[in-house]
Amino acid sequence: MSIHEDVHRLSHAAAVIPRGVAFLRLAGSSDKTRHFAFLALPRFTLLAFSSAIEPLRIANQLTQQPLYSWSLLSRDGESVESSAGVRVEVDLGLIPLERDATVVVCSGTEASLAADRSVLSWLRTHERKGGRIGAICTGAYTLARAGLLGGDSPAVHWENRPAFRELFDLEPLQQIYSIGPRHFSCAGGEAGVDMMLALIEKDHGARLANAVAEMCLHARRREASVTQKAIYPTAMEIRHPGIAKVISAMKANVATPLDQGELSQIFGRCTRHLERTFKSVMRETPKSYYLGLRLEEARSLLSETALSVLEVAVSTGFNSRSSFSKAYKIRYGKSPTKPI
């Protein structure tokens, strides 16, 4: 099959319209089918992918109209292995797309190296033509590597935020998804449902988006601004505002840790009172909790960046590689090493 035949096949992909019991009548019929091209990169996450694609299928099913069509692409047109080890067949490789096609980059583990030069070039070409591009899970890494984000911060999973910040010198958003004028992104997991519901609402209104949410058993639609992972429980902010302020300060000062005196000033009481209250609320001392935050960030940097062990140690506030290695081994049961 020639590339021209592939392009024709993709641009005329039939929308899947399954039969179902539930039905919602839209005001008027849709004369335009919006096409999504999902680019699956090696080790992409199945949960994030299915969370993004299923709302489109349900929108078609509820209305019995071809509102959306979709295709699955890979770099070479061959099947792609997900992060769960499940291989997924794709429709096509990196063929030119129509301008009105929306590309969604699907990534997962090993995100910083998931896309090669051909993928980055293909994405740049599609955007130059005026095409819309989005990302789910760690797909934002690929958009950043392709230079497509500019200064726009994407939504990135909380586990990957330290590495993303270090690699691209851009502070990722803590919210579950973001929809901008040129790009959209979600942090992965079931946040894909919320993001796609928001896109469906933009296309066809809140009534359909709410009906799709009900079919997904998605009890409460979440706005983009919802935070992925609370810095601390809401109840703590009410009952122990001083402790909440201390934890916020710890998270904001990982590279240059605050000493006990500085934390006590933030708490507003003496060091002894901070120690006693913190241990009562968090079930560990401020020193232990703070160390855990730093080591958690160190583990992320080791896994997802090219920083050396020494550079990671410095980035997380340790005075030497030996002190970092000792603390890391106590915490995780093994010495810090770069992945092979």
Model pLDDT, residue 337 = 80
Q: How far apart are CA 86 and CA 79, in angstroms?
A: 10
Which residues lie across from 36 on neighbouring strands?
A: 70, 102
The answer to whether the beta carbons of residues 173 and 195 sit under 8 Å apart is no
Output the pLDDT for position 340.
43
Sheet bearing 34-40, strands edge to edge: 68-73, 34-40, 102-106, 132-136, 183-186, 177-179
Measured CA to CA, the distance from residue 161 to residue 174 in angstroms comes to 8
Distance of alpha carbon 324 from alpha carbon 35, whole angstroms: 49
Q: Which helix (H) or strand (E) holds 333?
A: none
Name 61's Cβ contacts closer than 8 Å, sequence gap at least 6.
Answer: 17, 18, 19, 20, 22, 215
Tokens 């560990």 -> residue: 284
pLDDT of residue 3: 54
Q: Which residue has the tokens 């129509």?
A: 98
The end-to-end CA distance of the chain, in Å, is: 39
Give me the domains of the chain, ranges plus CATH numbers. Answer: 3-215 (3.40.50.880), 234-332 (1.10.10.60)
Residue ranges in the chain assigned as alpha helix (H): 3-11, 46-63, 117-128, 139-145, 161-168, 191-204, 206-215, 234-239, 241-252, 260-267, 271-282, 286-304, 309-315, 321-332
The helix-helix angle for 260-267 and 286-304 (nearest 10°) equals 110
H or E element that contains 186: strand 183-186
Residue 21 is which amino acid? V
Query: What are the residue ranges in the chain where pLDDT is below 70?
Result: 1-13, 29-30, 230-237, 338-340
d(CA 76, CA 132): 22
DSSP per position, 138-175: THHHHHHHTT--TTPPPB--TTTHHHHHHHHS---B-B
In degrees and rounded to multiples of 5, residue 325 shows phi and psi of -60, -40
Token pair 């402790």 is found at 243
Q: What is the pTM of this model?
A: 0.80
Task: Return the pLDDT at 155.
Answer: 95
Buried b (16+ CB within 10 A) or exposed e, 286-314: beebbbebbbebbbbbbbbbebebeebbb
